[in-house]
Amino acid sequence: MELTIKQVKLVLFFLGISTSIIQVLILRLFLSVFYSNELIIGVFLALWMSLTGMGSWLGIKKTKKNISIISVLTLLLSYSFFALVAGSLMGFIKTIFVPAGVLINTWQLILLILSFLMPVCICSGYTFRIFTSFYPNYGAENYSSETAGSIVGGIVVTFTVVLFLEPLQTLALVLAMNIVLFSILFIRKRIKKYVVIVLAFSIPLLFFIFRIDIYSRTPLFKNQKIIESCDTPYGTLTITENAGQKYLFSNMVLQYSGEDIEHYEESAHFPALQHGCPRNVMLVSGAYWGIVPEILKYPSVKQVVHIEPNPWFLNYAEKYFNSSVKEKLKTIHKDPRQFLLSDTTHYDVMIMDVPEPSTLQANRYFTFQFIKLLKEHSKENTVVGYSLATSGNYLSQENIRLHSILYNTLHSVFTNVLIVPGNRNYFLASDNPLSLDYEALYKSNTIETLYVNPYYMNNQSLRERSESIQKNIDLKAPVNKDFNPMALWAQTLSFFSLFNVNSVLLIIIMALLILVPLSRFDLVSYTVFITGFTASSLEMLILITFQIIFGFLYAATGIIFAVFMGGLSLGALQQKKRREIPLFTIQFIFILVVLVVCTSLLFLTKINSPFFLYPTIGVITFVPAYLTGYQFALALKKLSPGHSNKTGYLYGVDLFGSALGLLLISTILIPVLGFVTSGLILVSMNLIITTVLYLRKK
């Protein structure tokens, strides 16, 4: 069948919209169902790009001469249909392979990612390859059309989907959109066209009427009743009930329950008793409905400042957890780091009831830079409290390393650090002396407690357990920093140790599988591969920096993604209009840009002006993307003959490079080697390929 160039561009534009929305939503659904950290996210995105690249290579012998109307319909509907199926069945599939209460094995997790992504990604990559084969001489325009669609998809996800729609409702709308696109372009009879359009929108209507999103989550909460579930920019929050007890889950991880009194008391009184007479208390995140009443038992308290960046969390707390306490409580709806940069209050007790550093978002509260910020708001006798999970009297080597990193990080800022074992291991830091004699500390205050008191706690047992942990602390362990998140890496290793999985071996196997296609590359292909690797790595570095500064990465990911895609699209179009230049010239400029971007990111965390930060992040996102798109279009002209569809082929090459970059930057380069070393590696790789291009006169 014949298609006009306008029809092809329109199809590719909507392909970009669909795939960008699907990628964000499938990842979001996956994170809400399965355990997640940066390693798993890196694996997810690497597999997404690798499988899409494979799909773009599968159609290598297809041309417009043997594409039927049925084939076009199949192509347009396949990836969006499989995405809807994968999203709808994700919860059910988990309950089949993983019994309730059992942590999923790493290899099972990777196999499940493959099973969810393979049909979606291969079909979308194959669709790109087929439609670009209609007009192979319009490679830059076709590439630009697809990336322009991705811009729209990123904006839609950020400003509408996340705020107003559930993931499955949106995936159903994407499927309906592709059916409508097919009917508009290829159905000639008006009546039949309208019938198809009406039937198309009946699909998402069913998801809205029957709340299928809620139904799909039900198997994940066995023997529990889902009272309410909400998809927010910070994750999926779910309230469940069992035997009158209510539970709050965030992305399937239990955050708080209604009556965890032991946790409330230990979090509040372990640091507060050390001070003895706190007046101003700060609580970051946490179950404030349980912790704040414990703090208010001290008559000296004048104000409790509770900082919680997620407003949905607070709404659920007020609605379901008897959080009517308002006396002396000031709630701040802001990121803690941003709040502290503008706050002038000095606190007596600061309680960090935050999740463990298993993600970059959580890790930013455990870094030297954040703890130093706490020090700037402390007095001489201020006590800061953190906690980590404990496994009784035994700590694995991975847990010892995590404990050592937090201990040394706190000690690099405060004079004294004390570990108090309880339901969790509590780390107390202060410039004043700290004591384990909680019997004496308790008797000096007129408070009533159930657990933190001499009748429940034994000083000798407490001291023995604390000394047992203390003697295992490695004083040579590294300090956790924003751009060298060693605590995150230790937490990741601890997760893998549960399954006796060699995490480094796992990453190497993944990387080798991505590198397999390199055997088919020529020099131009290698250049595109390295540029894809570098561009995706820079995008990840920018996202990490944004997370460190603002703390609401997911809410802004769509915009950053849209700016990046805008650079790709405009760069490809601009090169099409200009004369050919040597590849090594654009590659050399790219090296300079990498240096400027990495240097800029290091200084952005020291600036507290959103009016400067947002435009700067936009510029350093756009410029490398523009050069990447420009180089892609230039490489199309310089690619050696013999490829029936140069656009589809180089598209796959670029995706393979991007996949490897995302995998390595998120799992090894940043956590292990740090930000600066990672930037130097990117510069070195591009310097090598630039030198080779110059010597070969490319």
Q: Give burial (CB, 10 Å; 0-12/13-18/19+) of 509.
A: exposed
Q: Strands 245-250 and 253-257: what pairing? A: antiparallel
Q: Give burial (CB, 10 Å; 0-12/13-18/19+) of 658.
A: buried
Residue 443: per-residue pLDDT = 86
The partner residues of 347 in beta bridges, in order of sequence, read: 378
Residue 636 tokens, joined = 């199309």
Judge contact between 347 and 377, C-beta under 8 A: yes
Residue 326 tokens, joined = 């308002």
Mean pLDDT rounded to a whole number for the chain = 85
Judge contact between 143 and 567, C-beta under 8 A: no
Interval 88-99 mean pLDDT: 82
Backbone angles phi, psi at 472, to 5 degrees: -90, -10
pLDDT at 350 over 80: yes
Residue 646 tokens, joined = 């140069």
Domains and CATH numbers, the chain: 1-220 (1.20.1250), 221-255 (no CATH), 259-484 (3.40.50.150), 502-698 (1.20.1250)
What b-and-e string marks burial along 289-306, b requiring 16 or more CB atoms within 10 Å of the CB? bbbbbbbbbbeebeebbb
Residue 360 tokens, joined = 């970059």
Judge contact between 358 and 495, C-beta under 8 A: yes
Distance of CA 600 to the CA centre of its chain: 22
Residue 27 tokens, joined = 């990842």
Judge contact between 169 and 213, C-beta under 8 A: yes
How many Å apart are CA 646 and CA 376, to the nearest integer? Answer: 57
Cβ atoms within 10 Å of 197's Cβ, excluding its own: 16
What b-and-e string marks burial along 258-269, b requiring 16 or more CB atoms within 10 Å of the CB? bebeebbbbbbb
pLDDT at 64 over 60: no
Residue type, 4: T
Judge contact between 226 and 316, C-beta under 8 A: no
How many Å apart are CA 463 and CA 453, to the nearest integer? Answer: 15
Q: Is the pTM for the entire model greater than 0.85?
A: no
Q: What is the DSSP string of 209-220?
A: HTTHHHHHHGGG
Residue 562: per-residue pLDDT = 83
Residue 552: per-residue pLDDT = 65
SS3 671: helix
Q: What is the pLDDT of residues 154-210, one digit of tens each?
A: 888 777 766 678 889 999 999 999 999 988 888 888 888 889 899 999 999 998 888
Q: What is the pLDDT of residues 554-573, one digit of tens each?
A: 666 777 888 888 888 888 88
Residue 96: per-residue pLDDT = 81
3-state SS string for 51-65: HHHHHHHHCCCCCHH
Place of tokens 């979606």: 120
DSSP alpha helix (H) spans, 577-674: 583-604, 610-638, 646-664
SS3 385: strand
How many Å apart are CA 587 and CA 579, to the nearest integer? Answer: 16
pLDDT at 6 over 80: yes
First to last CA, the chain: 38
pLDDT at 37 over 70: no
pLDDT at 508 over 90: no
Which sign does the torsion angle of CA 688, 531, 79, 646 carry? negative
Contacts 24+ apart (CB under 8 A), 90-94: 90/29, 90/30, 90/33, 90/116, 90/216, 91/33, 91/216, 91/217, 91/218, 91/219, 91/220, 92/216, 92/219, 94/33, 94/34, 94/219, 94/220
Residue 506 tokens, joined = 């796992």
Backbone angles phi, psi at 90, to 5 degrees: -55, -45
DSSP alpha helix (H) spans, 377-458: 397-411, 438-443
Residue 161 tokens, joined = 């989907």
Q: What is the pLDDT of residues 213-267, one digit of tens each?
A: 888 888 888 888 888 888 777 778 888 888 888 888 887 777 777 678 899 999 9
pLDDT at 623 over 90: yes
Where residue 237 falls (left for φ over 0; alpha for ψ -120 to 50; beta otherwise) is beta
Of 37-41, 136-140, 532-536, give the range with the top mean pLDDT.
532-536
Question: Which pLDDT band holds residue 323 (cuts at 50, 70, 90)?
Answer: low
Residue (of 287, 285, 293) closest to 269 by Cα position? 293
Q: Running DSSP on this structure, what letter comes out for residue 484?
A: B
How many Å apart are CA 560 and CA 683, to the nearest integer? Answer: 22
